[in-house]
């Protein structure tokens, strides 16, 4: 039997869109991901609204979004993307992994992952790959914050504080005056 060489099938690249209100962050993420043979960065923007317009014309597999952005924050964007394009997996990238925000994004937008901006290339590429393959990825620090949030929520329910009392305690924690 003759040896038959079958050309290797070209692996489909994971299409990624990036939105962050800081261009330098976008440039950094692009430089980390561009050399990866499994990824294709199809769009980058400093505007959440521009990304929504782009997604109408070009499908992507993963939306990598910042959380704290003007005009439309990452939480609002993620919710809108999930409504309009439920097939897109969302990876949130932020400076802060506040448990309450992460929890809301999981519940409201069904995000597939949340990482902090202090991660390295290996963790970011691993998170994207895992999410693209149907998994979820939350960095360890984010998981710790989620656990703290869950414990605080449980304590609040056990102590029977009203919403207003919880709000006042939150303001006291921020060292705001009585006014």
The 3-class SS string of the chain reads CCCCCCCCCCCCCEEEEEECCCHHHHHHHHHHHCCCCCEEEEEEECCHHHHHHHHHHCCCCEEEEECCCCCCCHHHHHHHHHHHCCCCEEEEEECCCCHHHHHHHHHHHCCCEEEECCCCHHHHHHHHHHHHCCCCEECHHHHHHHHHHHHHHHHHHHHCCCHHHHHHHHHHHCCCCCC
pLDDT of residue 22: 95
pLDDT of residue 1: 45
pLDDT of residue 5: 47
Kindly provide the b/e burial profile for residues 159-168, where b requires at least 16 CB atoms within 10 angstroms of the residue's own CB. Answer: eeeeeeeeee
pLDDT of residue 19: 97
Give the list of residues 6+ apart from residue 22 with CB closer than 8 angstroms, or none. 46, 66
Please give the chain's pLDDT, 179 residues, in tens: 444 544 444 578 999 999 999 999 999 999 999 889 999 999 999 999 999 999 999 989 999 999 999 989 999 999 999 999 999 999 999 887 676 767 777 777 788 998 989 899 999 999 999 999 999 998 878 777 767 766 665 555 656 778 888 788 888 877 877 76
pLDDT of residue 176: 79
N- to C-terminal Cα separation, the chain: 88
Helix axes 99-109, 74-84, angle to 10 degrees: 20
pTM for the whole thing? 0.75
């Amino acid at each position: 039997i003759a040896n038959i060489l079958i050309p290797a099938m070209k692996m489909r690249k994971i299409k990624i869109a990036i939105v962050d209100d800081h261009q330098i962050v976008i440039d950094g993420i692009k430089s980390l991901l561009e050399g990866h043979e499994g990824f294709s960065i199809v769009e980058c923007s400093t505007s959440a609204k521009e990304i929504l317009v782009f997604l109408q014309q070009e499908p992507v597999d993963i939306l990598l979004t910042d959380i704290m952005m003007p005009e439309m924050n990452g939480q609002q964007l993620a919710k809108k993307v999930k409504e309009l394009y439920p097939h897109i997996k969302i990876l949130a990238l932020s400076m802060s992994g506040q448990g309450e925000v992460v929890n809301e994004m999981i519940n409201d937008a069904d995000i597939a992952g949340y990482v902090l901006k202090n991660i390295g290339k290996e963790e970011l590429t691993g998170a994207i790959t895992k999410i693209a393959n149907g998994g979820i990825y939350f960095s360890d620090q984010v998981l710790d914050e989620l656990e703290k949030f869950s414990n605080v929520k449980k304590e609040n329910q056990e102590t029977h504080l009203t919403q207003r009392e919880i709000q006042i305690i939150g303001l006291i924690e921020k060292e705001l005056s009585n006014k």
